């Protein structure tokens, strides 16, 4: 531990990387993607410093883009496998991971991926009705409630690119947690 910051407390792996040039629900798997500091993923519809999510652009197109990169842990696909068949990229994520419970990360965690890419975790993805167009009933499956009735969103996390770099399947993901006290992820 250094200056109250836990260095690389968790390690995981990239399973797949995906992009879509258009605002489509699913994204196409790639051999490699390029993350660009402050902008997101080159060639993806959500690339830019201001928000690109269509419903949010309609509200205020000048909002900062806190949703540059979407990550989902492949363990979610395994959890849903009895009722749904989901492949990497099909739920709109750019990076499919394994070995890290992304939903339990605190806000402002930093994911170091591959040789030089770094992503700062900004919050939870809020799944919308489009998810049921992909597979009926999936929206209900990725939303849950805890014992206190609080909403649990399981459709992945969002982040911004802190450092540029290329990311590909089998790259290692190293997690640096922020200083305590940790803040729970909220929807962005």
Determine the pLDDT at residue 4.
43
- What would the two tokens of residue 162 be? 């802190």
Residue 187 in any domain: the answer is no
Residue 161 in any domain: the answer is yes
Backbone torsions φ then ψ of 55, nearest 5 degrees: -65, -30
Determine the pLDDT at residue 1.
40
Q: How many residues does the chain have?
A: 188
Residues 173 and 149: their CA atoms lie apart, in Å, by 32
Domain that holds residue 127: 10-176
Residue 183 in any domain: the answer is no
- What would the two tokens of residue 112 be? 């170091």
Residues 188 and 186: their CA atoms lie apart, in Å, by 6
On whether the CB atoms of residues 111 and 88 are closer than 8 A, the answer is no
CATH code for the domain in which residue 120 is found: 2.40.33.20
Residue 121 in any domain: the answer is yes
Residue 184 in any domain: the answer is no
Determine the pLDDT at residue 138.
96
Name the pTM for this structure. Answer: 0.93
Q: Buried (b) or exposed (e) across 88-105, using 16+ Cβ within 10 A?
A: bbbbbbbbbbeebebbeb
Residue 40 in any domain: the answer is yes
Counting the structural domains of the chain, the total is 1
Phi-psi region of 60 (alpha: psi -120 to 50; beta: other; left: phi over 0): beta
Residue 92 in any domain: the answer is yes
Q: What is the largest CA-CA distance in the chain?
A: 48
Residue 182 in any domain: the answer is no
CA dist 165 to 35, 59, 114, Å? 5, 31, 8
CA dist 135 to 6, 9, 170, Å? 39, 35, 28
On whether the CB atoms of residues 114 and 84 are closer than 8 A, the answer is no
Determine the pLDDT at residue 38.
97
Count the alpha carbons within 13 Å of 4 in the hemisphere toward its beta carbon. 5
pLDDT (tens, 9 = 90+) of the chain, 188 residues, equals 444 445 666 799 999 999 999 999 999 999 999 999 999 999 999 999 998 877 777 788 888 999 999 999 999 999 999 999 999 999 999 999 999 999 999 999 999 999 999 999 999 998 888 899 999 999 999 998 889 988 899 999 999 999 999 999 999 999 999 999 999 999 99
């Amino acid at each position: 531990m250094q200056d109250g910051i836990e260095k690389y407390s968790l390690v995981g792996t990239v399973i797949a990387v995906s992009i879509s040039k258009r605002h489509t629900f699913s994204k196409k798997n790639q051999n490699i993607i390029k993350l660009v500091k402050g902008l997101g993923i080159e060639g993806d519809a959500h690339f830019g410093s201001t928000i690109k999510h269509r419903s949010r652009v309609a509200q205020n197109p000048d909002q900062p883009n806190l949703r540059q990169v979407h990550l989902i842990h492949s363990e979610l696909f395994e959890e849903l496998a009895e009722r749904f068949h989901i492949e990497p990229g099909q739920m709109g994520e750019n990076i499919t991971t394994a070995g890290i419970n992304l939903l339990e990360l605190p806000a402002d965690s930093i994911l170091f991926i591959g040789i030089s890419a770094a992503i700062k975790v900004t919050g939870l993805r809020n799944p919308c009705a489009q998810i049921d167009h992909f597979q009926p009933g999936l929206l209900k499956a990725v939303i849950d409630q805890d014992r206190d009735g609080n909403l649990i969103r399981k459709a992945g996390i969002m982040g911004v690119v802190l450092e540029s770099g290329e990311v590909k399947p089998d790259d290692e993901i190293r997690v640096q947690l922020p200083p305590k006290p940790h803040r729970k992820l909220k929807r962005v």
